[in-house]
């Protein structure tokens, strides 16, 4: 079996600013095998977030294609795009984006409820995932009453609640101190492996990259082995 979580062909991105063309990357070809964990590193400004945003359907490429399961990402309409982001993908960013008026449990349940999952089932999934990220004692806490590391772990749980095939994470430990960084890193790798998800992770953290199955560096010459 040769299943892929995502297949990228001839992907290029150029930003057109007032007077210049900024070529970020050109003609990237790669695929992410199902259930594999890939780390992407590279200098600040080389285009890592831009690449991840394109994979996530949050930005359009200048040319090329992104195929993910049944989705041809660059040609999806609004409704399919929402379905892709909310169902096929789980997203984790440097900032947690938890809703401040909702508890940890509610924040994790919400994407499931929005996808039409019954309340009881959503509750069960959210409890299990919060326990997987070792937050079973923080279910009723608002984000303001959680530590930075706890908020990121809640964001990881939320990313998994609709059982996505692929988790995209952009510097998920970027705002954390070394101890919390290590904990979030270990928990993230642990849950994606346990649930058999693919992970594409952008990180400046060498230890995090070293833990991945595949490590690439984004350079002027494209993606190279790190």
Ligand X SMILES: Nc1ncnc2c1ncn2[C@@H]1O[C@H](COP(=O)(O)OP(=O)(O)OP(=O)(O)O)[C@@H](O)[C@H]1O
* Residues paired with residue 186 on neighbouring β-strands, in sequence order: none
**Cα–Cα distances in angstroms (integers) from residue 155 to residues 10, 46, 165, in the given order:** 32, 26, 17
Total residues interacting with Mg ion, rule: CB under 5 A? 1
Choose the binding region for ligand X from 41-49, 63-71, 137-145, 208-216 (rule: CB under 6 A): 41-49
Which partner, ligand X, Mg ion, none, binds residue 15 by CB below 5 to 8 Å per kind? ligand X
Does 196 help bind ligand X (rule: CB under 6 A)?
Answer: no
Total residues interacting with ligand X, rule: CB under 6 A? 12
Nearer to Mg ion (CB atom), residue 49 or residue 211:
49
Smallest gap, in angstroms, from Cβ of residue 48 to ligand X?
4
Cα dihedral sign, 207-210-213-219: positive
CA 21 to chain centre: 28
Which partner, ligand X, Mg ion, none, binds residue 46 by CB below 5 to 8 Å per kind? ligand X
The contact pattern for ligand X, residues 3-32, with x = CB under 6 A and - = no contact, is: ------------x-x----x-x--------
Nearer to Mg ion (CB atom), residue 3 or residue 43:
43
Q: In what order do the strands lie in the sheet with 71-72?
A: 21-33, 4-16, 63-68, 71-72
Helix (H) or strand (E) holding 166: strand 166-170
Q: Which two tokens mark 64?
A: 């090329």
Which partner, ligand X, Mg ion, none, binds residue 2 by CB below 5 to 8 Å per kind? none
Distance CA 162, CA 128 (A): 13
Of 203, 226, 207, 219, give the one whose Cα is nearest residue 94.
203
Does 49 help bind Mg ion (rule: CB under 5 A)?
Answer: yes
Of 201, 138, 132, 131, give the one whose Cα is nearest residue 166.
201
Nearer to Mg ion (CB atom), residue 51 or residue 133:
51
Nearer to ligand X (CB atom), residue 21 or residue 100:
21
The contact pattern for ligand X, residues 43-62, with x = CB under 6 A and - = no contact, is: -xxxxxxx------------
Of 125, 128, 92, 98, give the one whose Cα is nearest residue 109.
125
Choose the binding region for Mg ion from 29-37, 48-56, 117-125, 172-180 (rule: CB under 5 A): 48-56
Smallest gap, in angstroms, from Cβ of residue 205 to Mg ion?
13
Under a CB-based contact definition with an 8 Å cutoff, are residues 202 and 40 in contact? yes
Which parts of this chain interact with Mg ion (CB under 5 A)? 49
Which parts of this chain interact with ligand X (CB under 6 A)? 15, 17, 22, 24, 42, 44-50
């Amino acid at each position: 079996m040769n299943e892929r979580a995502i297949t990228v062909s001839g992907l290029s991105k150029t930003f057109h600013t007032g007077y210049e063309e900024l070529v970020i990357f050109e003609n990237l070809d790669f695929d992410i095998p199902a259930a594999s964990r890939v780390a992407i590193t590279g200098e600040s400004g080389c285009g890592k977030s831009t690449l991840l945003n394109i994979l996530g359907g949050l930005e359009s490429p200048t040319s090329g294609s992104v195929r993910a399961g049944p989705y041809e990402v660059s040609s999806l309409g609004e409704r399919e795009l929402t379905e892709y982001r909310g169902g096929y993908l789980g997203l984790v960013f440097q900032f947690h984006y938890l809703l401040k008026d909702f508890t940890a449990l509610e924040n994790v349940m919400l994407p499931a409820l929005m996808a039409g999952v019954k309340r009881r089932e959503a509750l069960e999934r959210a409890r299990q995932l919060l326990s997987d990220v070792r937050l079973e004692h923080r279910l009723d806490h608002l984000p303001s009453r959680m530590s930075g590391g706890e908020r990121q772990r809640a964001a990881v749980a939320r990313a998994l609640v609709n059982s996505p095939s692929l988790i995209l994470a952009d510097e998920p430990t970027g705002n954390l101190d070394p101890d919390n960084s290590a904990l979030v890193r270990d928990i993230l790798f642990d849950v994606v492996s346990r649930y058999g998800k693919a992970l594409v992770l952008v990180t400046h953290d060498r230890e995090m990259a070293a833990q991945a199955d595949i490590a690439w560096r984004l350079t002027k010459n494209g993606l190279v082995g790190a």
